[in-house]
Structures are given as structure tokens and as C-alpha cells.
Structure 1
Amino acid sequence: MEPSKRFQQIKADHLKKGTLFEDSDFPPDIKSIDPGNPAKYDEYDIKWLRPGEMFEKPALFIDDASQLDICQGMLGDCWLLASIASLAQSKEHLNKVLPPGQGFEKKQYCGAFRFCFWQFGEWVEVIIDDRLPTSKGKLIFVHSADRGEMWSALLEKAYAKLFKSYEALMGGRIGEALVDFTGGIAEKITLHVPPKNLFKRVQRAHKRKNLMGCAIDATGIAEEKTDNGLVKGHCYSLTGIAIVNGTELIRVRNPWGNDREWNGPWSDESEEWNKVSAKEKAELGVTYDHDGEFWMPFSDFVREFTRITICHRATFDSESNTHFNISEREGSWVKGVSAGGCRNYPDTFGTNPQFMVTLTDPDPTDDDDDCTLIVSLMQKNSRGFLHSPLSIGFMIYEVGDDAFMFMEDENRLEKKFFLRHKSCGSTPRHICNREAIQTFSLPEGEYVIVPSTYEPNEEGKFYLRLLTEKSASKIK
């Protein structure tokens, strides 16, 4: 994404004048941190400083970006930082979010930086100044393990500006940021009943350079530390996967960036590594630093963690000769017109928006006649805005041979269809999150997807996306 005219003008004007940009849209004010409860930060005596006021030689990157550049501060946004750590592993994706050609060098630095985030079908430019909140001269939010490295702190600020404040980043799911960093679709896999061939699925996703994260659900106490070194109610990034001496291993990173690491088999300095050659350890990037990153057996990982998030992109997999296609459509729920509520309201459910999709088998030569379909329903303005998110979900119906009896037009079914047919798939429940997402395995055929709010007459805009395994699949 090329720099906007506004950014080009800001840079040209300030380089010419020898001044530094000050962002009036996201000022160095406590309300940019927490507009709802600014007194929360009174004790920290916050001062907004530029990198040059904190470090003698600040740099955007020191020895390139690394997942170890992200250390969590006092903000409860581990979900975001785990996503940033995943982003650091992909130069392609990082260059999209933080476009090259920026830095603190004399001919570049003007106090302004630009970032780009995917938002409902388009890449949005966010321009910030580099004044960052500090206490006693130190950054209070995300910071790098390398002194003077600034990219991760500036990225966090730009993301906070996108959603109106730092406090808006409190609490979230890894997939939300991974989607905003890539434009992909974030599949969530629960581990209490793990799917077949999960290791191979994760291995394949890692090979495709899909960004991934994971989490352990809380059991009543937020961020509860356990005896094995893991933290419940906490998000991590997935940074590697391998088979070593016949054992399936996965590499995980805690965004706290400290010694809160797994201490079981294959952990740092465990005896299992004594049987691995120095060359292989170097290839795997094995270190014994207390940096929050560790290896662990995949079987232990599945037992200890609650879910994995894999952010898929539209791509071609040469190994399986499979296209991964993303189809997208915008829509809205309008009171009295297209806001029919969930299936509990049969008289109005059929007025909801409807989307037809045709699924075709990606590999007709195999024994599996089913098609993989990932459905993502996203509502707009669900984070950092004044109103609360709606409770959203969707249902899927197979359009069988009798569908012609219930067609209002070629792309829409009338109310009677939904009264007489059962759904073949749905979200488990309606949720008050930005996104409701579910993975399905369905036979070839034509289907209709019906997104809805829980209650009728709730108005809002949404974005529906489908990931299918063959580009011939279509949505209309």
C-alpha cells in the first residue's frame, strides 16, 4: 500500500522545516490511554516521550524483527502481543503492516510513522507520531528486549489509535489481530476433542507461513500461574514445529518475555536436549535464554492448551495441489427489513440476509467427498466504540432439489423454506464478539448461509467471508 498523500505531505513539510510531527487526532493525553477511567493511571506520573528522549540511538529494528522483540507492559493485551510475535516471523506480512522506508535516520525521520491494518475488506492507513507513554523514563506498555528498538511499541500505539485508545485493547482473542495483520481468516481449533491429524495440520500451516497463536482458558483466576510454568487465562504465539528424535514438538512463546516458561519434557536445558546434536539444535533455534520461548511435546501441548488459532490466507498449496480461496460480501441488518433475529423467531428469521454458496470437491480422486468450508461473520465497530457489540451468529441450510418451490427469486429463499427444513450447520451459539467463525465439512452442493443477530430488529453492519478449498466455489 503506497503512502497516502497526507503522509507524504506530513513527511515533506516536517523534513523541510526540521520539525517533528504531532498527532492531534491521538494526542499525548491520558484519554488516549483510558478515556473511561483516566484516574486509573494517576500513580504512574505518565509522560509522553519520543524515542530520542529515552534512548541515545533509537532504531526501528535492531538485527531485523524477531518474536523476542515483544515484551508485555502493564496493559492486559497479551492476545495482541502474541499476534505481533507471530507477525514478526513473516517479513512479507510485517512489511504490509509496517511498510519499509521508515526509521530514525536523518533523511527519513520526521516524528511520524505509518501502519496499515486490514479492516473489513480494505487496508487502512494509520498515521501516528512517536510520542509514547512512559513512567520514570521507561515505556509502560509493550517494549523490546533490545534497548532502543521501537517497532513493536509504535505498532501497539497505531493499533490503539485504530480503536480509539490503549484501553480498548484490553482483552481479546489472537485471531482478531492476526486477521487485521494479514487479511486472512482465523480458524479456531478447540483442543478438548482435538481433530484428527492435528500435528500435520499445524505443520502444514507453518510451512505455508500462516500466522498462528494459542491460549489456555482461565479457571476462575485471571493469568493463573501453574506449577508446570504455563499461565492460564493467557495467550501465546506458535513459533515453530518439528519432529526431533521421533518426538513431535511445538515451539511456543509467552509474550511476557521472561522466565515464565514450560518446565516439563523438552523445556530449556531439559535432559532430552542432551541427545540432540549441536547442529540440529542450532537449526531449530534452541537457546536456554529466559526469553519466554520454549519447546514442548505436542502431546503435552494438546493436553495443556485450550485452543489453536490458524490464520489462513488465499493461496495455492503446491504440495496438495489445492487452492484456498476467500470470498467476501458486505451486508447489514436493518430494522423492519433484514433484522429478523435468530431461529427462535421463525416468523422473521427468513427476512435476514441470505448468501448462496456452491461447494465443489477439491480432489475428486480421493475417497473423501466432503468440502472444507470456514465461515467468518464479522460485525463492524465492535471494539473501542461507544455501543456494545451485538450478539451474532449464522446458520447453514442445504439447498436441495425442492428449493425451487421456495424461491422468492434466483438468490433468495422465502420464509416457508426455513420452517420446513433443518439446518446442516451453525455457530454453537450467538456471541457478543467481533467475529463468529466456524469450520464445516460438507458434501458437494449448494447451500445458503443466513447471518443474524440474536434478537430481531437489532441494526448493524457485517462482513461475511468464506474460505473454501477450491477457487471454483462461489458466493452470491
Structure 2
Amino acid sequence: MKKLCAKRWDHKCPIIFHNTLSEPIQMIWIDYEGNEQPFTVLNSGGKCCQQAGATHPFIMRRMNDEKRKVVSIFVPTEETVDYFEVVPGMFMYDEERDGKMVDEDDEEIVVGDQVEEIEEEIIEDQSKHVTICKMTKAREEDWKLIRSRFDGHELVDISIRNDTSRKYNVFRVDEEGNQTSHGYSAPISTFWATFAYPGNVFLLKNECGSVEFVLKVSDKSTVYIIESNYLESTACIDDDKQSSCRNILLKNEDKRIGPRKMGFNSPEIVQDIVNELKRRNSKFIDEDFPPRSDCVRAQNLFKRPAIFKNISVMDPIQGKLEDCFLISSISGAALRTRLLRKVFTHCEAIDPKLGLYALTFYLEPNNEKMTLLLDDYLPAENGHLKFAHSQDRGELWISLIEKGIAKLVGDYDKINPQTNSHLFYPSNILSLLLGGRSKQLDWFSGQSTTATDMMKKGTFWPLIEKLMDSSLSVPVCGTKPGKEGSDSINSNGLVNAHGYSLLSYRKFPEHDLKLVNLRNTWGRIEYNGPWSDNSPEWDQYPDVKKALEYRNADDGCFYMTYEAFENCFGIVWWND
């Protein structure tokens, strides 16, 4: 009997799942306790990218089936390369055994606690190994002479992953150099796929008809990535009331740095754009990260918008995005007010009516400063901000940081690192905002880790206390996945696989008591164990109640003991 559960998290890789079935499937991760954790639904032909670890099982269940039968299982190994295709017939059901799942050797497969190693054969049979090839930008003198060749006799199934914000029309070049339209590659990590022979050539043209990429098919490369780390010459979106100041952007093209080359290493660009906007009597619009259809300018949404009103860890409220880990980092950064204000240093001299904001981020590993330009368009509905926002209406620093991260990863919907291939985890966000290098400790697997070793030696909490006492570093944390599934509330009142901010700690040696103060990024729903709101401990220890100025409020903040934290949470991130 093969029993499935995740075992460790020391080898990480993004996996692309492709549903080739004619029906939708539920994608499910099997956690460390053998519990099913659904994370998305893939429609027929759909693809998604999921951060995974070696030994982490994924199962796919039918959606249009009362028994929700498993159609496929995938367990990455350290050798697995980025791609898995769901095809029918991998696993069967034995109706004589109450519809239990069996493999092709008639051996039963169950989801549950890990009892024995999963046989390598089940992994090798199910995984499709591919080589990833990044495409390079085309030069006109190169592609005009290109002709397709036939370097092999077997067709290759090729795919293009588009990591840019642009649509590309795809053309096949035949042996004589003639071009035939082959559809298009849609923006932001979507796919275009076809069959071709090794040696065949495809051209990718922008919407102006210019060739930007050349794809030469190889039998060793079946997934091609359109490189996003270059300046994308997007279509001009200026009008008589707003401008992207493209002339200035192009002048500073060689000074672009950071993820997707969205930032600049020249802060002087800010004043240049301010002067240009004033000369044109225009508002700024960001052509590198154009406004969505649901966006409204902050100056039109609020009577008196301001970057800061009263900075507090209580300010950040998570919106409709699943970006709790980002919000926990933003909330934690509010503990370092002086450093947080430096993110918006350039904004102090900018008239908000220009619609321009300039953030200063720090790039690892050397804390290189990056200037990130933003317009003041923010997603909104019914007169309220749709995503992350402050409890103080019209205060923008939280929404602007979230927009800045969205620009760096390509879209608001790509912020969550658990469902996308970027590496903007809480520690990385803290490093961007406050400087330093990203660090983390995890112990949610139940296996021996550096964190569990430190807990045994008594060195874990001294580190966390040191970080909370620091004027530079900020620790944040995440709960364990839990059997109820991600974002479900467990019996302790905590949200599973959810980001929390670490606010403070207090020790009362006379009572042999150590407490840590945390905050839920939702600004509500709190821990219900010992030392939580309404717990009897507050009345049993009135001196503690007085020292901590305890008040009962549904604000997402709560206390718990060090021991409870170790049991309920599973990871800590910080900037060092």
C-alpha cells in the first residue's frame, strides 16, 4: 500500500500543471499529516504554476463526479523539472473494493500518514521531464534570414510561457521563409502550445507587427519562456490629460534594475518626470504597469488622500486578494516607522495632484536602492479600495506598497508566492522595505529542522526576542496548514496557512510566564486559547493584565504563550 503525505521542504521548485482532460479537475496538495489541501481548479486545457517541494504529493480529483475520483497523482523529486501533464488512465478504481484507488499493478493507494517511502516508479511514470529554454530578444538582421529545417522525424509538443504583460502573435516560418499565422501568446504566464519538428522556427511579433523573439524548436527543449527581464516598449497610452513621460523612461532605459527591470537606479528620474508633468499640465500614468479596468485614481476616490496619517501596525487590512503574507510583512514594517517613511522619501516633494508616487526599495544582497515609479490608479469598487488598504480612509501607504509588489511580479493576482513562481515571500518583502537579507526558520513539517533544534537548545526564542527588540529587523510568521484546509479557521481560532504579524513579547518570571503578541492580517478573528481575549487567565493574574494594559477587542490582536506559538505556528520570516 502506498501512503501519501509531504515529508520535507528543503528542495523547492515551481511546478507547471497542465490539464489535458476534457473536464475540470480539483488540484490538491497533500500536507505533512496526510490531509488534503485544495488550492485551485484547472479547467480543461488550463495550466497553473505552483511552488512545491520534493516529496510533496499532489492529487487531481474529478469535479463532475459524485465520488470525486482521483485521475492523477504527482510527487516531485529533486530531479523533477518544472512540468507535469494530467492525462487520463493513470489511476483506476476497483469497484469491487468500494471504489478504492489502485495503480496499474492493482496496488491500493491511500492518502494518509507517511508509513513507507513512495516507490520511485510511481514518480517516474507520472512526471514529464522537460528542459526550460529562455528565449532571447530578436535582431532584425537575424530573423529575416531564418528558414525552418527538419532536424528530427518525430513531432515535439512545445509550449510558450509568456511572463511579460504583452500579447504576442505567433507565426511559423516554413522552409522557404514564408510566414503563417499560428495564433497568439497571451500575457502573464499563460501558454501557447503546438506540435512542431526540431529545427522549425516561430516568430513572435508584438501588436505593432515587429518581431521581438525567435523560437527555434529543439528536441531537448519543449517549454520556452519569453524573457521578461528587459524593457518592454509598450504601446503609448498618453492622452491630453495624462502622460507616461515615455521620453524620460527611454532616456533612462540603461538604468533599469530589479525584478522585471521595473525600477531605476537613478532617483533623479523622479524630478525629471515631475518637471515634465508640470510642463505638460498632465497627470502620470504608468505604461510599465497600466491601470486595470477597475482602477480609479486615488485623488478622485478620496477627498484628502495622504501617504501617511497615523502609522500603526493596526492600519493594514487585507482586501480581496489572497496576500495575507504580504500584509503581515507590511504590518510588521509599521513597527519600524523611521525606516518605513524612507520608502516614501521621494514622495514628500511631489504634488499628489500629479498622480505620481516614487517608492524606494532595497535589493538583496547588497541593499542597492531601487526607485519604483507608480501612478495613483488603485483597484476599487463601490467607492472603496478593493485590495489592501488602511483602516484610516484615504491613507495610501499600504495600497501603494501592495501595488509596487504587484508591479514587480507582473499583476495583483500573482502576488501570492504559494500559487506563483516568484520568490517574494514575507522575508523578501521585509528586505525590500527595510533593507537587510531575507531569512526564515520553519518547523511545520514535524520533522527535525534547524528551528526544532534551536527550540530544544533554548536558542529559538532569544533570536525572536532579539529581532523584535531590533530597530532594523522585523519577524513575521505563518500558521501550519491544518486538516481543515488553507484559510479555514481551526479549533484554536487561528486561520490555517495564514500570515500573522509578531508585535511584541513580555516575560513575567515571577509567574514563569512568557507571552507573545500577534495580529491577524484580516484585522479580526483571533486565537481562543489561554491568554486570548476573554480567557480566565487575565483575572487570575491581575498584575499581568495591568502591565499589558489588556483590553478585549475584536481587532485581530491577541496574546499566547511561547509554547502555544510553537504548537500553532510553523514558520518565521525576517530581514536580517
1:143 counterpart residue number: 389
Is 2:459 aligned against 1:181? no
Decide whether the 8 Å contact of 2:538 with 2:545 is kept in 1.
Answer: no
SS of the residue aligned with 1:276?
A: helix
Backbone CA RMSD of aligned residues = 2.5
Q: Which amino acid aligns with 1:178?
A: L
CA shift, 1:100, in A, is 6.0
CA shift, 1:270, in A, is 2.8
Q: Whole-Å Cα distance in 2 between the matches of residues 90 and 136 of structure 1?
A: 33
1:165 counterpart residue number: 411
Decide whether the 8 Å contact of 2:299 with 2:352 is kept in 1.
Answer: no
Which one of 515, 522, 544 corresponds to residue 249 of structure 1? 515
Residue correspondence of structure 1 range 203-352 to structure 2 within 5 A: 203-209=465-471, 210-219=473-482, 221-244=485-508, 245-258=511-524, 260-274=525-539, 275-276=542-543, 280-282=547-549, 286-312=550-576
Q: Deviations over 1:245-304 (max 9, x none)?
A: 54101111111112x11111111243333313675234xxx4433221211111111111
CA shift, 1:237, in A, is 1.5
Q: Which amino acid aligns with 1:232?
A: N
Q: Which amino acid aligns with 2:363?
A: Q
Q: Whole-Å Cα distance in 1 between the matches of residues 388 and 349 of structure 2?
A: 18
Is 2:291 aligned against 1:61? no
Decide whether the 8 Å contact of 1:15 with 1:109 is kept in 2.
Answer: no
Q: Which amino acid aligns with 1:225?
A: I
Q: Which amino acid aligns with 1:257?
A: G
Which one of 327, 342, 352 corresponds to residue 96 of structure 1? 342
Q: Whole-Å Cα distance in 1 between the matches of residues 403 and 519 of structure 2?
A: 22
Q: Which amino acid aligns with 1:276?
A: D
SS of the residue aligned with 1:225?
A: coil
Change (3 A) 1:289 1:18: farther
Decide whether the 8 Å contact of 1:57 with 1:148 is kept in 2.
Answer: yes
Decide whether the 8 Å contact of 2:265 with 2:370 is kept in 1.
Answer: no
Q: Whole-Å Cα distance in 2 between the matches of residues 60 and 188 of structure 1?
A: 30
CA shift, 1:182, in A, is 3.0
CA shift, 1:103, in A, is 8.1
Q: Whole-Å Cα distance in 1 between the matches of residues 551 and 353 of structure 2?
A: 35
SS of the residue aligned with 1:147?
A: coil
2:212 counterpart residue number: none
Which one of 71, 75, 79 corresponds to residue 321 of structure 2? 75
Q: Which has the higher contact order (CA 8 A, sep 6+)?
A: 1
CA shift, 1:2, in A, is 9.7
1:199 counterpart residue number: 461
Decide whether the 8 Å contact of 1:218 with 1:224 is kept in 2.
Answer: no
Decide whether the 8 Å contact of 1:103 with 1:109 is kept in 2.
Answer: no
Decide whether the 8 Å contact of 2:479 with 2:498 is kept in 1.
Answer: yes
Q: Whole-Å Cα distance in 2 between the matches of residues 95 and 149 of structure 1?
A: 13
Q: Deviations over 1:15-72 (max 9, x none)?
A: 465532111221113xxxxxxxxxxxxxxxx521122222222221222x21111111
Is 2:276 aligned against 1:24? no
Q: Which amino acid aligns with 1:22?
A: I
1:402 counterpart residue number: none
CA shift, 1:89, in A, is 0.7
Q: Deviations over 1:396-452 (max 9, x none)?
A: xxxxxxxxxxxxxxxxxxxxxxxxxxxxxxxxxxxxxxxxxxxxxxxxxxxxxxxxx
- Name structure 1 gaps, 5 residues minimum: 30-45, 313-476
Is 2:280 aligned against 1:11? no
CA shift, 1:131, in A, is 0.6
Q: Whole-Å Cα distance in 2 between the matches of residues 180 and 101 of structure 1?
A: 17
Q: Deviations over 1:95-116 (max 9, x none)?
A: 3323265388xx5542111112
Decide whether the 8 Å contact of 1:102 with 1:113 is kept in 2.
Answer: no
SS of the residue aligned with 1:232?
A: coil
Change (3 A) 1:3 1:68: farther
Change (3 A) 1:135 1:194: farther
1:51 counterpart residue number: 298
SS of the residue aligned with 2:558?
A: strand
Q: Deviations over 1:103-150 (max 9, x none)?
A: 88xx55421111122223322111000110112222111011112211
Q: Deviations over 1:79-98 (max 9, x none)?
A: 11111111111023213323
Which one of 110, 116, 120 corresponds to residue 360 of structure 2? 116
Change (3 A) 1:240 1:118: same
SS of the residue aligned with 2:548?
A: helix
- Name structure 2 gaps, 5 residues minimum: 1-263, 419-424, 447-451
Decide whether the 8 Å contact of 1:76 with 1:171 is kept in 2.
Answer: no
Q: Deviations over 1:162-197 (max 9, x none)?
A: 222112212353222122223323332234525122
Q: Whole-Å Cα distance in 1 between the matches of residues 544 and 515 of structure 2?
A: 16
Decide whether the 8 Å contact of 2:299 with 2:305 is kept in 1.
Answer: yes
Q: Which amino acid aligns with 2:294?
A: K
CA shift, 1:151, in A, is 0.9
SS of the residue aligned with 1:224?
A: coil
Residue correspondence of structure 1 range 28-39 to structure 2 within 5 A: 28-29=291-292
Aligned length: 289
Q: Whole-Å Cα distance in 1 between the matches of residues 349 and 492 of structure 2?
A: 41
CA shift, 1:6, in A, is 1.8
Q: Which amino acid aligns with 1:216?
A: T
Q: Whole-Å Cα distance in 1 between the matches of residues 432 and 333 of structure 2?
A: 11
